Amino acid sequence: MNMKKVVSEVFGTVVFLTILIKAEKSRGMMTPLVVGFGLAAAMYMFGSGDYNPATSFLRVFQGSKVDSDFFLKLLCHVAGAFLAKELSGL
């Protein structure tokens, strides 16, 4: 996994989770729509990726080979989650 993909995974996760946290705090009727737009924004800015760790686990459970990219993606998700937590003021 090259450095560009690592950075896009971290910052895509940050964008997606920050929007998710902010939308959950508001608890409005538009929350699902806002979350969908947040994921679309992350994909538009950083390209398609696994911005949700569940997606990475799903690929493994479907029979994909576990390699170093899987563990690096999980590390990116954890780093992105901590950054999103700090940005959203939790």
Element (H, E) at 83: helix 68-88
Check whether 52 has a pLDDT greater than 80.
Answer: no
pLDDT digits (tens, 9 = 90+) for 6-29: 888 888 888 888 888 888 888 778
- Sequential DSSP letters for 15-62: HHHHHHHHHHHHT-TTHHHHHHHHHHHHHHHH-S---SHHHHHHHHHT
Task: List phi, psi (to 5°) of 43.
Answer: -70, -35
Q: What percent of the chain has pLDDT over 90?
A: 10
Check whether 49 has a pLDDT greater than 80.
Answer: no
**Domain assignment of residue 70, given as a range:** 3-88
Task: State how many domains the chain has.
Answer: 1
Please report the pLDDT score of residue 38 as a whole number: 81
Please report the pLDDT score of residue 83 as a whole number: 93
Q: How many CB atoms lie within 10 A of CB 70?
A: 17
Confidence class of residue 86 from pLDDT cuts 50, 70 and 90? very high
